[in-house]
């Protein structure tokens, strides 16, 4: 029995080319963005721009960090404040997430679709001796109470180290970020390091 090898080549173009052409793919026809490696599958009626991505070749992901100190002005005790400092986006690994616009230490969903993300945030900070600091994740500026984590900043210049992780459903153009609060006093918070990482959860 002889074997027959068949080669299949999908329709392809850059994301910009697909957007400009906005074709209607046949039912079960695949199209690939050659620059992002993301796929869409047609249904015979829906134009490209309105189709969801199909098991994206490059998952939606992004990470932003800040390694230089930044001061968050004092707020009332236990009031959460955005970090607000501009972070550095790791553009080499980013796909579908960009630096936040409301909070430049956050990540904004530029994918065009709602995505389920696993988000991890970590902060090292200080706010005076023996103060308790707390960290929460936030979506579009609204904190997620279930993500709260706390740490006591001891004396002697030691930083409180806070980490939190949660799964977040982030709509198109939505932003995920971190917010801090001083639970012990109304005092400035000095953030010495911060990092936010998000990656898509495929169901």
Residue 135 is predicted with a pLDDT of 96
| DSSP symbols for 102-135 | SSTTSEEE-SSS-EEEEEEEEEEEE-STTEEEEE
pLDDT band at 4 (very low <50, low <70, confident <90, very high): confident
Residue 203 is predicted with a pLDDT of 60
CATH class of 1-58: mainly beta
Q: Is the pLDDT of residue 57 over 50?
A: no
Of 194, 197, 201, residue with least CA distance to 62: 197
Domain limits, the chain: 1-58, 61-200
Q: Is the pLDDT of residue 115 over 80?
A: yes
CATH code for the domain defined by 61-200: 2.60.120.760
> Is residue 100 classed as helix, strand or coil in its secondary structure?
coil
> Is residue 16 classed as helix, strand or coil in its secondary structure?
helix
Q: How far apart are CA 118 and CA 173, in angstroms?
A: 17
pLDDT band at 1 (very low <50, low <70, confident <90, very high): low
Q: Are 103 and 194 in contact (CB under 8 A)?
A: no
């Amino acid at each position: 029995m002889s074997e027959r090898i068949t080669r299949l080549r999908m329709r392809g173009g850059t994301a910009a080319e697909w957007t400009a052409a906005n074709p209607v793919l046949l039912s079960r026809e695949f199209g690939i963005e050659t620059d992002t490696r993301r796929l869409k599958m047609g249904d015979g009626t829906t134009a490209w721009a309105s189709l969801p991505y199909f098991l994206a070749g490059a998952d939606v992901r992004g990470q932003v960090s800040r390694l230089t100190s930044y001061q968050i002005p004092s707020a009332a005790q236990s009031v959460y404040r955005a970090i607000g400092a501009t972070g550095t986006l790791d553009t080499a690994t980013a796909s579908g997430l960009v630096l936040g616009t409301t909070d430049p230490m956050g990540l904004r969903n530029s994918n065009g679709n709602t995505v389920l993300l696993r988000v991890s945030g970590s902060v090292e900070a200080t706010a005076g001796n023996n103060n308790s600091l707390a960290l929460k994740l936030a979506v579009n500026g609204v904190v997620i109470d279930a993500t709260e984590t706390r740490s006591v900043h001891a004396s002697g210049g030691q930083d409180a180290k806070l980490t939190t992780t949660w799964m977040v459903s982030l709509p198109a153009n939505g932003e995920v970020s971190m917010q801090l609060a001083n639970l012990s006093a109304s005092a400035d918070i000095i953030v010495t390091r911060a990092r936010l990482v998000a990656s898509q959860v495929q169901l």
